[in-house]
Structure 1
């Protein structure tokens, strides 16, 4: 709209300047032609009765006769060699410039010049007087005519045109508003619909108006939105079916795995009494059954997160004590250096905190290098409590760091089998999110991977409140 109004304003100002210039030129040329023709005619009439050589009296009479014929406030100055006379004795002859006198004398023909004298414009016309012989007589005549009326006329034209700029700009503003509303309304609607799509509302559509390019754009947007909605709905349905399938299979495997675990445990206990090959097979079956059981347990746990069935069982817990219990239960107390200040009591789900810490420390021991350091602290602002697990290994490559919390992701793609299921870090992150926190993974400044669990403060005193 501003650009539209500026263009209109520039156009109006340009038109005003051109109109003023054209009118001023026309008025001045008309005045110059009239003065020149009248002056030439009066000079020719007066020259018929003029004799040379002339004295001052005859020059004055000659100038007065021409001035009376021109009328108005015209001043005529006659110059014959060194003598000069004018129709008005008090007239200022300095309005006749030396340049004009020189032009009349050297060119031997009529010349004119516009001068500004004491703030007023004048037209000065000069011509040499010739007689029948057409030879220069030495007599030059100059007429001085005011251009005040012409300047006032052109100034009036300028004022009239300038006063018309305001209505033109106002009209341009109104037209700009109408044009902007017509063009930008569909664009705003498209913008709002796009933002709703970005927020997840794929049912948003825009109203199609007219048959112009904006209407075509609105129709294309609606078609794209419809196709996107159908694709997302299909993907969501496929994802829901996949998650439901994993959950169903995991639950169905639980019963036979329980029986297999019991049998494998008995075989493992009696392996010493069996032949070597049979004993090795029994231990292998027991180990693989345990591994399969852990995998099924992890899948069932992930299915609870996906279905939204996971819930927190908050209890007042001393976090330092909980971390020590996790290390002691798994026999890691001697492999970890702990900085666990006592007295940090929070409302947490102790079982889920155990799962998180066990996963992070287990990964550090398996894939990093000892010593593994655990640090419990509260951030300076007092809003978060952190548990940092750092190892002294080579750290995580950048391509691994970006996917370390992905499900079933394993850093060594050549390994088809490993002790873990590839779900440990994903389960740990889901447990942290269930508490309202998160887990960050970075490489330390001096090497090694650093995993930091961040939990929002829930002091144990809130339990009573």
Structure 2
């Protein structure tokens, strides 16, 4: 089974963004790890430097004493004259040096370029002969050029079967008086210093891990104490947002979290009272509109009957009376339309709307709606065009409500289209169907676009309207689209016209993820 790196990365990103607890603990661990690492490096470096400096000073002091003692022995032997063997004296001096120092290796080498004969053989530990230890040219030059009181030194690596150990090599000059000058090299092993340093570093490492774990535990405890109540408050807020107005936070103690809980509960109480007041007011308003609309229908029916009688007999009246009968007939029709719209809005407000869907070919539905408003368009001089490139045009919709949306959008386009072509686009994909009505008329400003779906609002109340209207058409259309799970969007610019786009899911209950049509649609038909 192969690991899906992208899915794993997405899960980690989601966990990082979605959990304050995880972010806090991880950041605390990272920062504490960095701090402990820096402190550990500083301490380790300081300890290493102090150990090395202390051991170096000890080695130089010891090598200086050994050199001084050896030189004294050579001087004493020279004062005795020819009765003393130079080789025996050198052997005795080197034995004394080995006994009086802690040096692990020794080398006694001739200084080249002297005029005196070499009567003492050079000596060196086996490590020098095998190449485990070598005198560098820099140390050799420094030693030869130094005087008898100067001790040269250099850090080296002492090779062994277990690897390389750190060490210090000292170099000094010994004058045998009778056999010339020789170089004395002493090698000190610093394995004990390295062992001490390793112990200190391992202790610092274990202590660092312990500190980081301790910081992580403290961070977890603090985050749990703080984030836990915050999580409870977030859950309570979600329940309040979903309508559970009785949700409250438990109050424990007198600290800041308890103060937060009390403040939250007071806020929830205030919201509950205000929402109930608004809900009661809304129900009163909805009931008032519904009751008034129903009560007006009875007298309106009587007025309509009387108006129809007068309208049918208008030819027998004088011109003034006939015109009055015509105006009365028109306004009664508009009044009936307004009552119907008010009743529809009251149903939406009361949540009593029921959708009856059937599989419907929306292209055919658009064609029928265009045919219905064709006389009005011809009267205004606007040409209606349909652009339907093909696709999944069948959808589950309430035909009556979608036809009402189309008639409203087409009527508005005819009213504001300035006798220019009106283009209706229909397009679809596998999940959604979109219908766009595009006119090239006066258009609207951004401020008007924001209010275009408000109830009883008109962009230009003084403008003559061919199709009449109550100011509720777009508001009802927006509700009709929403009850299908769709959306009704608008685009408009002054002087360039407007475009309303209706997007519906092909199956009722599906969520929209986009629209098959751009807003305004691409490839517009020129005006």
TM-score (norm 1): 0.73
Change (3 A) 1:377 1:108: same
Deviation at 1:411, TM superposition (A): 1.2
1:116 counterpart residue number: 157
Cα shift readout 1:131-167 (whole Å, capped 9, x = no counterpart): xxxxxx9787554333233333333433444344444
Residue aligned with 2:74, SS: coil
Contact persistence 1:326–1:354 (CA under 8 A): no
Q: Structure 2: how far apart are the matches of 1:20 and 1:347?
A: 75
Q: Residues 23-172 of structure 1 correspond to what in structure 2 (within 5 A)?
A: 23-51=47-75, 52=78, 55=86, 57-70=88-101, 73=104, 75=106, 77=108, 82=114, 88=124, 92=128, 94-95=134-135, 98-99=138-139, 102=142, 105-106=145-146, 109-113=149-153, 114-118=155-159, 119-126=164-171, 142-172=185-215
Contact persistence 2:142–2:152 (CA under 8 A): no
Q: Structure 2: how far apart are the matches of 1:13 and 1:183?
A: 28
Q: Structure 1: how far apart are the matches of 2:255 and 2:50?
A: 48
Cα shift readout 1:373-410 (whole Å, capped 9, x = no counterpart): 686967353x6666665555344544444433331120
Residue aligned with 1:238, SS: helix
Change (3 A) 1:329 1:262: farther
Deviation at 1:420, TM superposition (A): 1.9
Change (3 A) 1:42 1:454: closer
Deviation at 1:422, TM superposition (A): 0.2
Change (3 A) 1:180 1:265: same
Residue aligned with 1:144, SS: strand
1:305 and 2:356 equivalent?
Answer: no
Please report the RMSD computed on the Cα atoms of aligned residues, expressed in angstroms: 4.8
Cα shift readout 1:185-244 (whole Å, capped 9, x = no counterpart): 233334434444454545444445555555544444444444344433333333332222
1:410 counterpart residue number: 458
Deviation at 1:2, TM superposition (A): 2.4
Deviation at 1:302, TM superposition (A): 1.7
Q: Structure 1: how far apart are the matches of 2:68 and 2:336?
A: 131
Q: Structure 2: how far apart are the matches of 1:89 and 1:289?
A: 127
Contact persistence 2:104–2:186 (CA under 8 A): no
1:258 counterpart residue number: 301
Contact persistence 1:385–1:456 (CA under 8 A): yes
1:366 and 2:415 equivalent?
Answer: yes
Q: Provide structure 1 residue ranges, at least 5 long, that are not aligned to the other structure.
A: 131-136, 460-465
Contact persistence 1:338–1:374 (CA under 8 A): yes
Q: Structure 1: how far apart are the matches of 2:59 and 2:394?
A: 109
Q: Structure 2: how far apart are the matches of 1:328 and 1:154?
A: 96
Q: Structure 2: how far apart are the matches of 1:79 and 1:110?
A: 18
2:28 counterpart residue number: 4
Cα shift readout 1:233-260 (whole Å, capped 9, x = no counterpart): 3333333322222222223333333343
Contact persistence 1:127–1:141 (CA under 8 A): yes
Residue aligned with 1:124, SS: strand
Change (3 A) 1:76 1:249: same
Q: Structure 1: how far apart are the matches of 2:328 and 2:481?
A: 34
1:292 and 2:335 equivalent?
Answer: yes
- Name the count of aligned residue pairs: 450
Q: Residues 183-332 of structure 1 correspond to what in structure 2 (within 5 A)?
A: 183-208=226-251, 211-268=254-311, 283-312=326-355, 320=364, 324=368, 327=371, 332=376
1:179 and 2:203 equivalent?
Answer: no
Change (3 A) 1:169 1:415: same
Query: Which one of the candidate residues 444, 466, 474 is aligned to 1:425?
Result: 474
Residue aligned with 2:27, SS: helix
Contact persistence 1:64–1:86 (CA under 8 A): no
1:134 counterpart residue number: none
Deviation at 1:78, TM superposition (A): 7.6
1:463 counterpart residue number: none
Q: Structure 2: how far apart are the matches of 1:56 and 1:454?
A: 112
Residue aligned with 2:408, SS: helix
TM-score (norm 2): 0.66
